[in-house]
Amino acid sequence: RSMAYHEMQLILVKVLYNFDYELCPESEGWDDQRTFVVWEKGPLMVKLKAVRE
């Protein structure tokens, strides 16, 4: 279980480091979510653009 968390962190760090990301227009207001007993989340659409070094 601990190894799986480390692998997920590594993948997330690689994505955040190697790509620029931008919120798509259809995801505007994504943070305005409804909460009941269950958290109702909509899709979060982002555009990824490879970073050139």
The 10s digit of each residue's pLDDT in 1-53 is 889 999 999 999 999 999 999 989 988 887 777 777 777 778 889 999 998 76
pTM listed for this prediction: 0.59
Give the residues across from 19 on adjacent strands: 50
Residues 6+ apart with CB under 8 A from 20: 48, 49, 51
Residue whose pair of structure tokens reads 């070094």 in the numeric block: 53
**Token representation of residue 11:** 């993948």
Give the residues across from 49 on adjacent strands: 20
